[in-house]
Structure 1
Amino acid sequence: MAYDEGLAHRLGDVLGPLPGVVAKKMFGGVVFMWNGNMLVGVMGTDLIARVGPEAHADALAEPGARVFDFTGRPMKGWVVVDGAAVSEDSALDDWIARCRDFVEALPPK
């Protein structure tokens, strides 16, 4: 499955200066790991966002967000955001900030 390389590049531009960020191919797309923990990714044309269980419901209320059920089992704490909803840099930055808030508190792997 192909993924939106433009969106992946935009994520890389924002996250690249952050120490401990590594891109890995996964889920038929690409994910960005921060200190060994998955942070965000691209699957198809959509953003995969790890917001954490506490912020899950609020994240789902955002435009373009839906449940992430890649395996047929919804993943609590993760949402998929329609690529059109993050076409503006400010919207993408907001999603990255949400994800950083959660992942920053996790212990490094």
Structure 2
Amino acid sequence: MPPTDPLVQRVKASLARAPRLEEKRMFGGVTFMVRGKMCVSVGKGRIMCRIDPALHDAALKRKGARTVVMKGREYRGWVYVAAAAVKTKRELDYWVRLSLDFNKQAKASG
């Protein structure tokens, strides 16, 4: 996933005002860190959002959303969203806003 990919650029623009924004190559794509914590990652055909686990079930009701599963384990608070479900600015901003809202209280990984 090159940093010049249109979806990467759209996510970057949506996060432009986020404090301490960093861009890193992770998860086979481009990951945006806010305040030193993973916020949104862009991969082939999808974004991955770190959201409040308390909002997880409600978020899955949105078009194109599914729980992140790695090595057979489901991760509450981590959601894949299909690129087709974030075609408009409004759709993308919804997920970015959820991720930014949780980022304020999230603990840093590692």
TM-score for both structures, normalised by structure 2: 0.88
- Tell me the secondary structure at the aligned position of residue 33 of structure 1: strand
Counting aligned pairs with the same residue, the percent is: 35
Q: Which residue of 2 aligns with 1:30?
A: 30
* Structural RMSD (CA): 1.9
Gaps in structure 1 of 5+ consecutive residues: none
Structure 1 moving runs of 4+ over 6 Å? none
- Tell me the secondary structure at the aligned position of residue 13 of structure 2: helix
d(CA) in 2 for partners of 1:104 and 1:19? 10
- The Cα shift of 1:79 comes to 0.5
- The Cα shift of 1:5 comes to 1.5
Q: Which residue of 1 aligns with 2:71?
A: 71
Q: Which has the higher strand share?
A: 2
- The Cα shift of 1:35 comes to 0.6
Gaps in structure 2 of 5+ consecutive residues: none
Alignment of 1:11-90 (within 5 A): 11-90=11-90
Aligned residues: 108
TM-score for both structures, normalised by structure 1: 0.89
